[in-house]
């Protein structure tokens, strides 16, 4: 990578933040060009640029809240997203735009009509097509610097090592209770922080579980007695609720990856949009 | 002597909401489980109860003045 910094500097341009402060940036098109010429991936070019104090323009609106070093950390991070429905589609899209470098995405389902109200990867032309294929294509279209490993399979103990490979965080975007407990158990065994959320109607909740935490049993009770589904069977899943909750899951993922902010460890953030209620409760 | 608790019902639990949930009369010493029975909430309806913002089990004893949050299990995605 000896001559890459020089190439980046040559193609970089001076610009200013909205408040007038100057920065040096490199465009998406020039990142593509250097990648094509050198054979290094776009992500490697972006990481190299950030090391030279040159900001890839695609992440410029992440800056000032995040530092260049933090953007590098995001680009070097891996997140596994389990379930690509309402939560998983929005979570994948947000993490890809934010610049989380590797996304492992898994769902064995195909899109059906009832998904169209809320699942961002779904569209009329993709009905009956695998969600994981649609997700990989969409993520690449948003940010081709991201490495996507997609799995057209439902998460289970057997495929867990592949789906959770190198994961710094795993995001629970599942839609039933029994498999959530299995995912939690495996994430804990592998020492991976676990962001979990669930929705029904206008309500939802989010928590972040570390390997040492009691976790889901504090929300749902003993694993052996939990029902398969919750209140969503009678209330459905609304597009604005599921997207709100997905965004809060991503907020937790970014904070865990960057080790900043207040994390919902042993806490439950509860939202009910019908009442404009957002509250954080202590689970311990 | 009656004291009062403030009840906050979320999502599907709202169907059990009494009149004046913000000032619901209780006999001091009553457990959450007994309060649930009085409100017609089945014992298996939820495990998630918060007293003054902290998760407690249904054996928790209420004395009055507490804020009680009652949540159903959600699992949609």
Nearest CA in chain B to A118: B77
Residues A146, A39 within the same domain:
no
Ranges of H-type helices in A206-238 = 217-220, 232-235
Residue A154 phi, psi dihedral angles, 5° rounding:
-80, 140
Residues A26, A165 within the same domain:
no
Residues A206, A170 within the same domain:
yes
Q: Which among B10, B49, B76 is the top mutation candidate for probing chain A, defined by the most A β-carbons within 10 Å of its own β-carbon?
A: B76
CATH of the domain at B26: 3.10.20.30
Q: Are B68 and B23 in contact (CB under 8 A)?
A: no
Cβ of residue A242 closer than 8 Å to a chain B Cβ: yes
Number of C-beta neighbours around residue A51 at 10 A = 13
Number of A–B residue contacts, CB under 8 Å: 97
| A88/B74 Cβ within 8 A | no
Calpha distance A249→A264 (Å, rounded): 10
Q: Chain B contacts of A218, Cβ < 8 Å?
A: 55
At CA A185, angle to CA A227 and CA A254, rounded to 5? 100
Calpha distance B63→B50 (Å, rounded): 15
Evaluate the CA torsion angle A58, A59, A63, A65 in order and state its sign. Answer: positive
Cβ of residue A56 closer than 8 Å to a chain B Cβ: no
Domain that holds residue B48: 3-71
Domains held by chain A: number: 2
Residuewise pLDDT in 10s, chain A (284 residues): 769 999 999 999 999 999 999 999 999 999 999 999 999 999 999 999 999 999 999 999 999 999 999 999 999 999 999 999 999 999 999 999 999 999 999 999 999 999 999 999 999 999 999 999 999 999 999 999 999 999 999 999 999 999 999 999 999 999 989 899 999 999 999 999 999 999 999 999 999 999 999 999 999 988 888 877 777 777 899 999 999 999 999 999 999 999 999 999 999 999 999 999 999 999 99
Closest CB from A175, A221, A234 relative to B77: A175
Cβ of residue B52 closer than 8 Å to a chain A Cβ: no
The model's confidence at residue B1, banded by pLDDT at 50, 70 and 90, is: low
| A282/B54 Cβ within 8 A | yes
Q: Which among A270, A273, A279, A284 is the top mutation candidate for probing chain B, defined by the most B β-carbons within 10 Å of its own β-carbon?
A: A270
| Integer-rounded Cα radius of gyration of chain B | 12
Domain that holds residue A49: 4-68
Supply the pTM of this predicted model.
Answer: 0.95
CATH of the domain at A278: 3.40.50.720
Q: Which among B7, B52, B75 is the top mutation candidate for probing chain A, defined by the most A β-carbons within 10 Å of its own β-carbon?
A: B75
Give me the mean pLDDT over the B15-31 stretch. 95
Q: Are A280 and B55 in contact (CB under 8 A)?
A: no
Instruction: Give per-residue burial for A22-47: e unless 16+ CB within 10 Å, then b.
Output: ebebbeeebbeebbeeeeeebbbbbb
Cβ of residue A182 closer than 8 Å to a chain B Cβ: no
pLDDT at residue B43, as a whole number: 85
Domains held by chain B: number: 1
Q: Is residue B77 part of a domain?
A: no
- Which is more confident, A171 or B44? A171
Q: Which of A20, A42, A68 is the last residue of a domain?
A: A68
């Amino acid at each position: 990578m000896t001559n890459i910094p020089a190439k980046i500097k040559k193609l970089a341009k001076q610009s200013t933040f909205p408040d007038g402060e100057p920065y040096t940036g490199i465009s998406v098109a020039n990142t593509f060009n250097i990648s094509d010429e050198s054979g290094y991936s776009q992500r490697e070019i972006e990481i190299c640029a950030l090391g030279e104090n040159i900001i890839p323009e695609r992440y410029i609106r992440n800056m000032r809240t995040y530092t260049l070093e933090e953007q590098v950390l995001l680009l070097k991070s891996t997140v596994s997203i389990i379930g690509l429905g309402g939560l998983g589609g929005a979570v994948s899209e947000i993490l890809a735009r934010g610049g989380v470098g590797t996304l492992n995405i898994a769902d064995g389902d195909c899109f059906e009509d009832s998904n169209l109200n809320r699942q961002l990867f779904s569209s009329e032309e993709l009905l009956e097509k695998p969600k994981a294929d649609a997700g990989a294509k969409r993520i690449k279209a948003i940010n081709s610097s991201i490495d996507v490993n997609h799995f057209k399979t439902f998460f289970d103990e057997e495929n867990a090592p592949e789906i959770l490979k190198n994961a710094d965080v795993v995001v629970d975007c599942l839609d039933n209770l029994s498999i959530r407990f299995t995912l939690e158990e495996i994430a804990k065994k592998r020492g991976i922080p676990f962001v979990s959320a669930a929705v029904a109607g206008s309500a939802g909740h989010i928590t972040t579980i570390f390997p040492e935490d009691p976790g889901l049993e504090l929300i749902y009770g003993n694993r052996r007695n939990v029902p398969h589904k919750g209140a969503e069977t009678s209330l459905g899943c609304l597009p604005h609720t599921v997207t709100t909750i997905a965004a809060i899951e991503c907020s937790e993922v970014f904070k865990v990856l960057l080790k900043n902010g207040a994390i919902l460890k042993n806490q439950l953030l509860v939202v009910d949009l019908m009442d404009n209620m957002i509250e954080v409760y202590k689970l311990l | 002597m009656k004291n009062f608790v403030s009840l906050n019902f979320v999502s599907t639990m709202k169907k059990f909401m009494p009149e004046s949930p913000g000032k619901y009369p209780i006999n001091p010493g009553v457990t959450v489980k007994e309060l649930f029975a009085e409100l017609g909430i089945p014992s298996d309806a939820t495990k998630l109860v918060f007293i003054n913002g902290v998760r407690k089990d249904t054996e928790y004893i209420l004395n009055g003045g507490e804020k009680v949050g009652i949540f159903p299990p959600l699992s949609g995605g």
